[in-house]
Amino acid sequence: MLITIIRRDLLLAYRRRSDVLTTLFFFVIVVSLFPLGVGPEMKTLRLIAPGVVWVAALLASMLSLNRLFAADYQDGTLEQMLLAPQPLALIVLGKIVAHWLVSGLPLALMAPVLGMQFDLPPEALAILFFALLLGTPILSLIGAIGAALTLGLRGGGVLLSLLVLPLYIPALIFGAGAVESYIAGVSPEGHLSLLGALLILTGLTAPWVTAVALRIAME
């Protein structure tokens, strides 16, 4: 079931490639505008690079959260998923994994290339990539809870942002802090370890909480 859900959502995302490209284009534009606005001072660019890339990734990932369950809710597929014999949390996990593969993984892959604009050394770019590789699944997992809670509500997009943005702050602090620690000459292992622990925590709890939220939304 897990593989089937992931394959289904990836196929639907491929058919709606414009939505995926919109998220990536937004990420590229936001990150690229900061060097133009701040100026060519390399020391300043290196200092702001981790925060800029992480905030841009956070905002870009939020653009696709509304589509996580909305299409299935509108065409009745979500009701059939609730009636399936498999645990709803397993189905939710499949949809979250597919969402990350479409929106989170491309952001992590593009981040080192965009980080070159900020004159980051190769080691810092590698840490940035690894931090996003750990952090973007957290954004998808937490975002799924918010998407389920606001499913079918009028003005749900604004409410979704208000719900998930405060919960994104720990991932933002640890992810950007890992790169900032390396730039400052301190080991980034502490921040990466906390980011990994946060990933494990959200991975174990978010699918079940999202499943409960979906059942409440469908009642």
Residue keyed to tokens 């989170």: 104
Q: Say what the pLDDT of residue 39 is.
A: 75
Q: What is the dihedral of CA 126, 57, 191, 186, to 10 degrees?
A: 50
Of 53-57, 69-73, 199-203, minimum mean pLDDT range = 69-73
Q: Say what the pLDDT of residue 67 is.
A: 78
Q: Say what the pLDDT of residue 187 is.
A: 87
Which domain range does residue 68 map to? 2-218
3-state helix, strand, coil in the chain (%, to 5): 85, 0, 15
- Residue 48, exposed/middle/buried by CB under 10 A (0-12, 13-18, 19+)? middle
Please give the tally of structural domains in the chain. Answer: 1
Please, which contacts does 199-204 make with residues 24 or more away whose CB atoms are closer than 8 Å?
Answer: 199/134, 199/135, 199/137, 199/138, 202/137, 202/138, 202/141, 202/142, 203/137, 203/141
Q: Is the pLDDT of residue 155 over 70?
A: no
pTM of the model: 0.89
